Amino acid sequence: MQHEAHAHADTHTHTHTHTHAGHHGPAVTTWSVAARATLHCLTGCAIGEVLGMAVGTALGWGNLPTMILAIVLAFFFGYSLTLRGVLKAGVDFRTAFRVALAADTLSIAVMELIDNGVIVLWPDAMDAQLDDLLFWGSLLISLVVAFVVTTPVNKWTIGRGKGHAVVHQYHH
């Protein structure tokens, strides 16, 4: 029997678990659901992170402005991917924006903290150039580590009816 968390829209958000028999219980999520939510988040974060690091490095910016650009773009692309999906469901922009914030903020924040933390702590990674294997290797490994660390966070939030569970009502 498979359980899925769905948030029902009314004046309050409620999370129910639906079974094939129609019974309701506490929200339950699987590692697979959490991994898919994290992968969705990672896609937007990776686009922003890679673009920000590449642009900042190519322009010869210092480490701090490059990292800030990468983080801002990671949030932008992370929210944009969710926003696009929710808007496709026919939701107005204001509501869709709120859903994206609720769904992705913690996930992106954890992912960015881990991702950038790995790069900062990796010897010489912050000084690597675009044509250096260290630049791309440390970035790839930092994203993998961020995925591994963020998946349990998403499992926990989805299980509580928060995070990516908020988006489920817009997917049919």
The count of other CB atoms within 10 Å of the CB of residue 51 is 16
CA angle 103, 104, 107 (to 5 degrees): 120
Helices 63-88 and 31-58, packing angle to 10 deg:
130
Q: Is the dihedral of CA 159, 161, 166, 171 positive or negative?
A: positive
pLDDT for 66 equals 94
Reported as a single tens digit per residue, the pLDDT across 71-117 is 999 999 999 999 998 899 899 999 999 999 988 999 999 999 999 99
Task: Name residues of the chain where pLDDT drops below 50.
Answer: 1-26
Phi, psi of 18 (to 5 degrees): -105, 130
pLDDT for 171 equals 59
CA distances from 102 to 77, 83, 122 (A): 15, 11, 31
Spatial contact of 144 and 164, defined as CB atoms under 8 Å apart: no
pLDDT for 1 equals 36
pLDDT for 27 equals 56
Cα separation, 57 vs 85, whole angstroms: 31
pLDDT for 23 equals 36
Type of residue numbered 55: V
